[in-house]
A and B are shown apart, each in its own frame.
Chain A
Amino acid sequence: QSVLSQPPSVSGTPGQRVTISCSGGFSNIGSNAVHWYQQLPGMAPKLLIYSTSYRPSGVPDRISGSKSGTSASLAISGLQSEDEADYYCAAWDDSLKGHVVFGGGTKLTVL
C-alpha cells in the first residue's frame, strides 16, 4: 500500500485533456513539493514535473502540475498516443526523520 494514492488507471482520446490525481497527507503533500514521473514500458522513469508545477527542459507545456492542500494533480492536454505510460507522483515525507514516498502509479491509456 503506497503512502500517496493514485487511481490505477485513466484513459482519454487523442486531443483530449486528462488529469491524474495524487492524494496524500499533511506530512508529505501538505508540507512539501510534489514531483511527477513518466515511465514508458520497459524504461526507467523520467522526471516530468518537479516542485509541484515546474517542467524540466524538454517537457512540453501541455503537461502541467498543481497542488491544493494534501492533494496534487498532473494534467495532460492535447493527448497524444506517445503519452500512453505509467505516471507516478512523489514527495518528501517529514515523518520518521524524513523519507521519499511514491504513489502507486496510474496507467494512462490513449484510446
Chain B
Amino acid sequence: QVQVQESGPGVVKPSETLSLTCTVSGDSITNYYWSWIRQSPGKGLEWIGYMYHSGTTNYNPSLKSRVTMSIDTSKNQFSLRLSSVTAADTAVFYCATGSRQVDVFDIWGQGTTVSVSS
C-alpha cells in the first residue's frame, strides 16, 4: 500500500518561496497522479494542483501564477514550490493521490504545517 509523507520548513518569511516535498513509499511514484491540497487554519480544503511523472501538470487557476510542481522519479518524491507567499498562505499542506481517477484522493499524507511569518 502506497504511503506518503510531507516535509517542509515549518516557517517561511513573507515574499519568499515555500518549498515542500512529498516522499512516496510502497509503490512507484510513476503509477499515480499527485496532488497538493492545503487547509488554512479553521478553513476548508483547497486544491493546489496535480502532476504526473510525464510532466503533465494542472494548477488551481487562483494559484497558477505562483505554483510550480515537480517529480523526481529517482527519489520517488513529489515537490511543491509556492512563490511570493503571504500570511494568507499559512496552512497545513497535504500530499494526496488515488488509484481511481485524478480527482479522487484516497491516499493522504499526515500533512505539514507551514506558517508565513517574519
Main secondary structure of the interface of B (DSSP, over half): loop
Bound together, the chains give a CA A37 to CA B95 distance in angstroms of 15
* CA of A47 to CA of B108, assembled, Å: 9
Asked if B109 and A100 sit within 8 Å, CB to CB, the answer is no
Answer whether residue A81 sits at the interface, using C-beta atoms and an 8 A cutoff. no
Shortest A54–chain B CB gap in Å is 9
Number of contact residues on A: which range applies? 20 to 34
Q: Indicate if B32 sits at the interface (CB-CB under 8 A).
A: no
Q: Are B45 and A97 in contact (CB under 8 A)?
A: no
Judge whether B35 is part of the interface by a CB distance below 8 angstroms: yes
Nearest-neighbor residue (CB-CB) of B111 within chain A: A44
Q: Does A90 contact B (CB under 8 A)?
A: yes
Set of chain A residues within 8 Å of B98, measured between Cβ atoms: 47
A102 to chain B, nearest CB (A): 4
Which residue of chain B is the closest to A91 with respect to CB atoms?
Answer: B103
B78 on the A face (CB < 8 A): no
* Residues of chain B within 8 A of A104, CB atoms compared: 44
Q: A44-B111, A100-B35 are in contact. Are A88 and B44 (CB under 8 A)?
A: yes
Q: Digit string of B98-111 for contact with A (CB within 8 Å is 1, else 0)?
A: 10111111101111
A39-B60 Cα distance, complex, nearest whole Å: 22
| Known interface pairs A44-B110, A98-B58; A51-B44 also in contact (CB < 8 Å) | no
Asked if B61 CB lies within 8 Å of chain A CBs, one says yes
B61 surroundings in chain A (CB, below 8 A): 96-97, 99
Q: Mark A25-55, 1 if CB is under 8 A from B, else 0.
A: 0000000100101000000111100110000
Interface residues of A (CB under 8 A from B): 2, 32, 35, 37, 44-47, 50-51, 56, 88, 90-92, 96-105
Nearest 10 A-B pairs (CB), nearest first? A100-B47, A44-B108, A47-B106, A105-B44, A96-B61, A102-B45, A92-B103, A104-B44, A50-B104, A100-B103
* A-B CB contact pairs (8 Å), 19 listed: A35-B103, A35-B104, A44-B108, A45-B45, A45-B108, A47-B98, A50-B100, A51-B101, A56-B106, A99-B49, A99-B60, A99-B61, A100-B35, A100-B60, A100-B103, A101-B47, A102-B44, A102-B47, A103-B44
